[in-house]
Amino acid sequence: MAIKSGQDQLAGPDCAEQRYHYLGLTFMHGHGVSIGSEVSGGVQNVHVSRVHFKGTANGVRIKSNRDRGGDIGNFDFRD
């Protein structure tokens, strides 16, 4: 699952991603929960709980760089 919110220098508005709740999911293969890499609109209030990862490369992956980053925060990961 990837959470993104826009990329600099592309047409269209970059909207902040807010209020994500993921409960009781199973991720198989891939990267698990990924935030980024395009987050120029920001990402806030991500809550993940009771999640199982089976065969994923990562559990939680937060990725960005200086030319793609916006304001991110208030992440809660448990169980």
Q: pLDDT tens digits, the chain, 79 residues: what are they? A: 777 777 666 555 555 656 777 788 898 988 888 888 778 888 888 898 999 999 999 888 888 777 666 788 899 999 8
What's the sign of the alpha-carbon dihedral 73, 21, 10, 32? positive
User: What does the alpha-carbon distance between residue 68 and residue 65 come to, in Å, rounded to a whole number?
Assistant: 6
- Its pTM surpasses 0.95: no
pLDDT for the residue numbered 54: 93
pLDDT for res 79:
86
Residue 56: per-residue pLDDT:
92
pLDDT, position 64: 75
pLDDT at 12: 53
Picking from 73, 53, 50, 52, the residue whose alpha carbon sits closest to that of residue 62 is 73
CA distances from 32 to 8, 20, 66, 67 (A): 25, 15, 23, 24
